[in-house]
A = this chain, B = another copy of it.
C-alpha cells in the first residue's frame, strides 16, 4: 500500500506528522508493518513492539509519530480513504457523463477490493477498534460524495441526495465484497460486464415493470 504524506492541516488524531522525507519513510515502514500485522494477526494480538520489530525501527520511533496503537490504525483508515478518493478521481477524470463516472467508480472500487481484500478487515473492523474512526470514515465519505453530486443534482431523481449517496456506497461496497468472496482475480472484461449489470440495476431499477407509482409525500 502506498502511504500519503498528509499535510499539517489534516489534523489526524494521535498523529505527529513527520517533518522530513526521511521521517516520512520511517513512518511508512511502521504503517506497512502495522497493516500486515493487523490484517493477519489482528489489531489486539499485535503489539507496538511487534510493529516496531517488523518495521526494523526502535520502539521510540513509533512514539515519535503515533500516540498509541489506535492512532496508527486511524492513520491506516484515513490513508485508505485518501487513496480510494485519489484513485476514483483519477479513473473518472476522463468521463463525460455521470453514468460513466458512476460506472468507472464502481469498477475502480472493485479493483481496489481485489488488490486490498483486507481493506474490509481494517475499515469495517474499525467498528470494533474505535467506533469514532468507523463513523468518521463513512460520514466523511458520504459528505464528500454528496458535495460532488450537488452540481449534477438535476440529473438525479427527485429524492434526498444523501439517500442516493448511501445507496450507492452500499452497492459499491457490497458488490466489491461479493467479488472478494467469489473471485481470486477478475479480468477487465468480466469486471466491465459486472459493472454493466450494476449500472443496469442503478439505471432501470430492479423491477422489470414498475410495480407501483410512488406515493407523493404530503
Minimal beta-carbon separation of A110 from chain B (angstroms): 11
Whether a CB of chain B sits under 8 angstroms from the CB of A43 is yes
Residues of B with C-beta under 8 A to A159 = 197, 200-201
Nearest-CB residue, chain B, relative to A38: B128
Docked CA distance A47–B35 (Å): 25
Q: Mark A177-218, 1 if CB is under 8 A from B, else 0.
A: 110010000000000011011111111111111111011010
Minimal beta-carbon separation of A107 from chain B (angstroms): 14
A205, B208: Cβ atoms under 8 Å? no
Nearest-CB residue, chain B, relative to A154: B208
Taking CB atoms and an 8 Å cut-off, the chain A residues in 144-170 that contact chain B are 154-160, 162-164, 166-170
Residues of B with C-beta under 8 A to A171 = 167, 170-171
**Residue from the list B166, B201, B209 in contact with A164, Cβ < 8 A:** B201
Whether a CB of chain B sits under 8 angstroms from the CB of A28 is no
Chain A residues proximal to chain B, CB less than 8 Å: 42-45, 97-99, 102, 120-121, 124-125, 127-129, 131, 134-135, 138-139, 142, 154-160, 162-164, 166-175, 177-178, 181, 193-194, 196-212, 214-215, 217
